[in-house]
Structure 1
Amino acid sequence: MNQDSSGPAEPSQATASGAAYRDLIIRTAMSFIDLPLERMDAGIQQALADIGGFFGADRAYVFQYDFDTHLARNTHEWCAAGITPHIEGLQALDVSHLDDWVRPHRNGQPLVVPEVDALEDSSLRDVLVPQGICSLLTAPLMDGENCTGFVGLDAVRGPLTYGHDETEMLRLFALLLVNLDRRKRAAAELAASAYEKQLAYQALERKTEELARTNAQLERLAHYDNVTQLPNRNLLSDRLIVSMRQADRRRNGLAIVYLDLDGFKAINDSHGHDVGDLMLAQLARQMSGVLRDGDTLGRLGGDEFVAVLIDLSDEQLLQPLMLRLLNAASRPIELNGLTLQVSASAGVALYPQDKSLDADQLLRQADHAMYQAKLAGRNQYCLFDSTRDQAVQGRAGYSEPQ
């Protein structure tokens, strides 16, 4: 979850890194499609370098588990310039006493250690400290319900904060590695005797069906948020571009709405991330439920959402839509015997404008207007005034436009 500050957040930089992050996802996924098995190790090594370098990690690596012997083996490692490799010394890591490490992986969950120095004395700390690790993020390799290993990033030159993008990228990479391992095993089966080859061919058909299902999972992971099931930043950007082109053809308007939840951090801190995630999912359903057919609600990450409202032939149509959206965001939620409530501050940018704009510029305008709504007292929306290049207060909260 995002660690929101107590005061108004500065305008998000999500749009600035969004294209590079999308390129990383696409480049990594495409590099594994039909990757020859003889180039498997080189492909994995390149992907580790791309992912580790993009997120500023000091090491990126892959481990395999052997739970029969209670050992983990470091199969691949990338290190940033000046960082000492550890792969040779991690070929038979005893994990029988590392239950805090292994349990999340076997349950299909990522493991995040924000600051190793903050860990209490434990066997996990005893393993990480000698390696000079300051912080790390790992994601399991899940073949069905079986954990076969994990991928990870760590920092040794100082702690790094690992968030939504890093976690989702490692999940995607883990799925690609599981796919690759399935192909490798299927190919080995095909090398058997003639009778065994026939059996292997049938098995390969089953594997192909499994791969198709996994590819569908990959497609969803690349385009939808795991917590809310809303379009993520990648799909949202595509839909905004398509909506802008449609508005140009139809000669009508659209609005992009940047929403930031008010008071969510306090709930997340008080009740934990599990309750926070459940609340985000319910809020997503409530806000989606008041939109029209053709409108899009997506999640940028943390407690930030974006709505694309199409077919606005008249600016007067905007206010009732915004009031419904703000009402939905502030509706109380019952969770685990708790009654929880937040509100939302929203910024709105309209399209088209007198000057030519791309999707990222439009999103930055809405982000700036949202920041003004925060400053104006929250639980309201502000409209970006393109003629004065600023957000104006006259369309805030539940008041009529001035």
Structure 2
Amino acid sequence: MPRLRIFIAILAVLGFVAAPASAVMSTSAEHAILMDGATGQVLWAKDGFSPMPPASMSKLMTVEILFSRIKDGRVKLTDRFPVSERAWRERSGSTMFVKVGDTVAVEDLIRGIITQSGNDACIVVAEALGGTVEGFVDIMNKRAKELGLGASHFVNPDGLDVPPGQRMSAYDLAKLARQLIYSYPNLYHFFSDRQFTFNGITQHNRNLVLDRFPGTDGLKTGHLEESGYGITVSAVQGGQRLILVINGLRYPDLTGKAADWFAERRRADEAARVLGMGFREFRSYQLFKANEIAGTVPVWGGSQKTVPVTTGKPLAVTLQVDSRQKMVVAIKATAPVNAPIKKGQQVGTLTVTAPDFPTLNVPLYAAEDVGRQNIFARMFTGIKALFGGAK
């Protein structure tokens, strides 16, 4: 097999799930996930796959559904949604301060949900898209299944604990964040807004990491007494995007009216600290470009003894810098590989292993056609196999 060359680039989707252990990464949060944005590969986790109360971070699902309607043309940013009495009365927690009987532009509702974390804005959107809040919750749960959010269950569009039972895992939140980033590039910019003024009231984005860590461009914070403080955040440095979810930060030493103010700053500091560790400790290493020849596998009864193979798509892995030197890439043929072979036919597997890295198995495909030997050559090959094995 030719020597493998290592480049720096991105990967097509390969579906990494298992997270390696890392002594370097740490957080006081009860739940955490660090994900490579380009690949969806989980780099590090701390109870990241268990269902938990996501609080206002579950608003990301409300936004995703609204973004999907904008992308397919059913909704425009200039459309206006009516404000019902139910939406107007939704004053618990964060609010956008909508007024009953008014109509609000979709663009303002997006900013009201993302920047102001408006629970009332979520009700307006839910009633407009689902007919009722309950109808929209059905849409949320259906969409969660479509996106593969296996640990998610929604009972409302805003993340409040009435009714109880709203659950998501940190992993599901990271997957949802990745969906918002890559599926809606023309709308994702709303997540980087620092403040928004509606009805004469200016409110600032609670995602303070936007100003604490270079390259941060989203996404959403959350807090309930049950869930503790949490955040889903993403940043880009040096062309590499990381997505971080932390939840269950608790600050029992903070009391009084200023407790939330200090807690929001501690949450932002913790998220910025973990992101910094992530960018220092993990690198993306490209193994092959699209359709680059990865090596060869033997062919039985073919017009040639071997066939060149490729992963088809660009292949890269993200792993800790210390693990890079001990990374091993191996090719294994699907035995036996019998001619004829068609270009694009799977004929083997490429395996990548490294310390603190989940074993990765990637299909290998024939890079060209290989015909069968003529009848005399096949007879000769058969005789060799009978009396000592073909080589």
Report if TM-score (shorter chain) is over 0.5: no
Identify the structure with bigger relative contact order (alpha carbons < 8 Å, sequence gap 6+).
2
What TM-score does the superposition give when structure 2 sets the normalisation length? Answer: 0.25
Greater helix share, structure number: 1
What TM-score does the superposition give when structure 1 sets the normalisation length? Answer: 0.24
